[in-house]
Structure 1
Amino acid sequence: MEELPQESGVTLVKRMRALGIPDQQLRGAAGREQLVRLRRGAYARRRAAEAADRDDAYRLRVVAVVGTRRSAVVLSHHSAALLHGLPVADGWPWQVHITEPPESRRRTKNGVVVHRSPSIGDIVEIDGMLVTCLARTVVDVAAEGAFVDAVCVADAALRAGVSREDLRAEAEARPGPGRARARRVVEFADAKAETSLESWSRATIEELGFPRPVLQHPIPTPNGIRYLDLAWPQIRAGAEADGLWKYGALAEAEGRTGLEAFRAEKQREADIRPHLRAFTRWGVDELRHPEKLRRHLLSLGLRPLPSYRPDHPQR
């Protein structure tokens, strides 16, 4: 395939035309199934699109939307979270989110959700795209998104150095509905959640109405201090939230093989278990099906709190 101009992995028809490249070249590549259509006027190489993980696949859609707009747009909500490097629980939405002033004539359609706000706040540029600032992005997701996504985003923002005071100020300044949900997320957020899986876990535990766990609870062992992802010290119970990532990409980043990471984790668990009355593990499957997580929590001796009432939309 002849080389076609790309913007962050996306080939834009309008850019090809500006460079004098004939449409036939693009149609020929698409006809040979070397390109896939992201939206009208935007394509990606099929091999790259099929190999993209969930973040890269959503990024391609975001770039395609920005690249095919006639004028500049400000990315917000989940789309801004992606560009800021903030994780969500289980996957990105199909739609791309932008925020416009109230007088804007743009409408929600064709995979683009248009939010309206009299004040967008600070705007930053990331990879050539305009994006709501970090604190505003967190509050937007907290006010209008699912609780599990909002907690993942807020925890990661605190880990990245955003202060709770900045989040509080942004939540208080937010006009219209959603302020109470945003406040709830801001106060619930905790930088001690080291991964999105831990954030997703504690958000789901909260939604199920069980007592909140202590994060990164230290346990002295003969092999040094071990830290439990989630613990309920008052009943000597603990849990680890992990998945294949712990033995794959994360292990590789630490210079270990998956087998070495697995053995180290089994030794860590052996050190911890004698100090606990009850211990369990869960992963993505249990979080996708909360009833399975409920059974894990009950096995630890935990019981739901009677007065709990969720006030966030479900995913």
Structure 2
Amino acid sequence: MALARISALVAQAAHRGDEVTLVRQSAALVHGFDTWRTPPTTQIARSHTSGRGLGPDVSVHTAPLAADEIVTVSSTRATGIVPTVIGVARFGSVADGIVVLDRALRAGVPREALAEAAARCARKPGSRQARELVLLADDGSESPWESWTRVHALALGMPPPMSQLQIVAEGNVFYADLAWPEWRVVVEFDGYMKYRDHPGLDDTEILLKEKEREDAIRAAGWVVVRVTAKALRHRGLFEARLRRALPPHAARLLTPRPHLLLP
């Protein structure tokens, strides 16, 4: 739906002879990146602030773009991957930023390139958030919800986890979403999602497979914390579950970062 809206806007602008460049989440979508949320407006940059003639669902930004920051994706002008990602990290929420940063690292974008781009924005709006999120990004995240689960753990004060840690249990190999080997704690987001795309499995079989997986990991000496979207929306629920899973001495070592969960 969002891509269709973006394509229609680009076509409309071209028909008028108006050159626009997609930025931020709109550019991220064109690059094929996951986004945490899709803004209700298409985000563009142009030489003047007026969105006249482009409709009410357009946000116009006038920050100057260097020629090397602009690329063409499927005949559409957009900021390149690095400026796109840093733009989201600067001006979006923490969830918006961490999701696209994780996706960029997973796509092979060097962290150094992202860090350098964030550093060039020093003393500009959003630069501090962008620099922090570049450091917290993780190429092991396999979905936006995994990224957001990790942010919740970091906000609680947990050290950065290992993503997709290999665990051998009962003759099988499993990959944990988030793990803290020093405390033998694993956090798994909504196990149903791991199997729902497997052909031939109904809901009952999916739940059974997930239970067998968790039982095997627990039998190998790990504490498994299950988390769902509902638990993340009720912040205290996930925090309580994670704290209960930690050894007593670990809870005293946490350094909370509540600003990561600010709107």
Range class of TM-score, shorter chain: 0.7 to 0.9
1:7-40: CA deviation from partner (whole Å, max 9, x where unpaired): xxxxxxxxxxxxxxxxxxxxxxxxxxxxxxxxxx
Moved more, 235-244 or 298-307: 298-307
- Normalising by structure 2, we get a TM-score of 0.84
TM-fit CA distance, 1:112: 1.5
Q: Which runs of 5+ in 2 are unaligned?
A: none
Q: Answer yes or no: is 1:97 the counterpart of 2:43.
A: yes
Q: CA deviation at 1:164?
A: 0.8
For 1:56-205, what aligned pairs fall within 5 Å after superposition?
A: 57-69=1-13, 70=16, 71-89=18-36, 91-101=37-47, 104-106=48-50, 110-120=56-66, 121-174=68-121, 176-205=124-153
Q: Return the alpha-carbon distance in structure 2 between the equivalents of residues 245 and 160 of structure 1.
A: 21
2-structure distance, mates of 1:312, 1:97: 24
What SS does structure 2 have at the residue aligned with 1:88?
Answer: coil
Alpha-carbon shift at residue 185 of structure 1 (Å): 1.2
Q: Normalising to structure 1: TM-score of the pair?
A: 0.71
CA–CA separation in structure 1 for the residues paired with 2:110 and 2:167: 28
In structure 1, runs of 5+ residues without a counterpart are 1-56
Distance 1:312 1:111 in 2: 29
* CA distance 1:154–1:235, shift in 2 (3 Å): same
Aligned to 1:44: none
Root-mean-square deviation (Å): 2.6
Contact 1:88 1:149 in 2 (8 A): yes
Q: Which residue does 2:201 correspond to in 1?
A: 257
Displacement of 1:239 in angstroms is 1.5
**Aligned mates of 2:252, 2:12 — CA distance in 1:** 49
Q: 8 Å contact 2:49–2:60 — kept in the other structure?
A: no
Q: Number of paired residues?
A: 252
SS in 2 for 1:200: helix
Higher relative contact order (CA 8 A, sep 6+): 2
Distance 2:244 2:148 in 1: 20
Q: Which residue of 2 aligns with 1:3?
A: none
- Partner letter of residue 242 of structure 1? D
Task: Tell whether the 8 Å contact from 1:147 to 1:312 is kept in structure 2 after alignment.
Answer: yes
What is the deviation of 1:274? 1.5
- Cα distance change, pair 190–82 in 1 and its aligned pair in 2 (3 A): same
Judge which range, 232-241 or 141-150, deviates more: 232-241
Q: Deviations 1:100-137 (Å, cap 9, x if unpaired)?
A: 34xx2425982222222223442222232211111111
